[in-house]
Structure 1
Amino acid sequence: MQSIYERIEYLIKQKGLTKKSFCEQLNISTGNMGDWKRGKSTPGTHKLIEIGAFFHVSLDWLILGKNAPEIVRESAEDYFFEQIRQLDCQTDELLPSEKEFIKEYIAFTEYRKLKSADDNS
């Protein structure tokens, strides 16, 4: 798989979707998808982020083809602050307000995922 389009096409097939269904779910026009296939354009940054999140793959793999598609899981757990999971995490370097911001951002991300899932069902 050499191109971003080929990697997207691979993910679509792996998930058992049609290209039309994929386009509808991510608000991508079939014309844009055709341009990606012909190499006339590539997805913009925001759309690449959406596609990566949709398929749970890293942007490194999606954009650059580095390694196999790496599954990325995001959860609301306090993984930045749990010493067992990240022994090298320097939590004492973060201000309490910074820790709180990160927790809020994780909660917001979970909310958006749930809202997106509800909207698509």
Structure 2
Amino acid sequence: MHSIYERIEYLIKQQGLTKKAFSEQLNISTGNMGDWKRGKSTPGTHKLIEIAAFFKVSLDWLILGKQNAGTLKESGEDYFFGQIGQLNCQTDELLPKEKEFIKEYIEFTEYRKRKADGDFSHE
């Protein structure tokens, strides 16, 4: 499964749902589903979060097709950060699409935080 759509389709089949039932439950138009299938577009950040929660799968798997390497446990060590304090746990270079998704996700989470705090001065 190389695309987000293929993984979504797989999850739909695994749950024994029809695409129509899935679309109705998550308020997704058939046009959007068709665009995802053709690779014309992909689900937005908020919809990916909803889909991952609906099927109880990780965003890593849904977006990238990667399984979690395992659970990290607190040990007091700097297991995520190198000496200069930057994230240093990625073994493969991210694709441009993956980098763009991460940027979009960060912007979305910042928006949600501002919305929750009632701060709309950045819009």
Q: Is the shorter-chain TM-score for this pair beyond 0.5, marking a shared fold? A: yes
Match of 1:61 in 2: 61
Match of 1:93 in 2: none
Q: Which has the higher helix share?
A: 1
Question: Aligned match of 1:88 in 71, 75, 78?
Answer: 75
Match of 1:26 in 2: 26
For residues 39 and 30 of structure 2, the distance between their equivalents in structure 1, rounded to whole angstroms, comes to 14
TM-superposed deviation, 1:17? 0.2
Deviations 1:56-101 (A, max 9, x none): 0000000000038x9xxxxxxxxxxxxxxx6537xxxxxxxxxxxx
After superposition, the CA RMSD in angstroms is 2.1
Q: Moved runs in structure 1, 4+ residues, more than 2 A?
A: 86-89
- Note the residue ranges of structure 1 that are not aligned, 5 or more in a row: 71-85, 90-121
The percent of aligned pairs where both chains have the same amino acid is: 82
* 1:1-121 to 2 correspondences below 5 Å: 1-67=1-67, 88=75
- Note the residue ranges of structure 2 that are not aligned, 5 or more in a row: 77-123
User: What number of residue pairs does the alignment pair up?
Assistant: 74
Equivalent AA in structure 2 for residue 88 of structure 1: S
TM-score for both structures, normalised by structure 2: 0.56
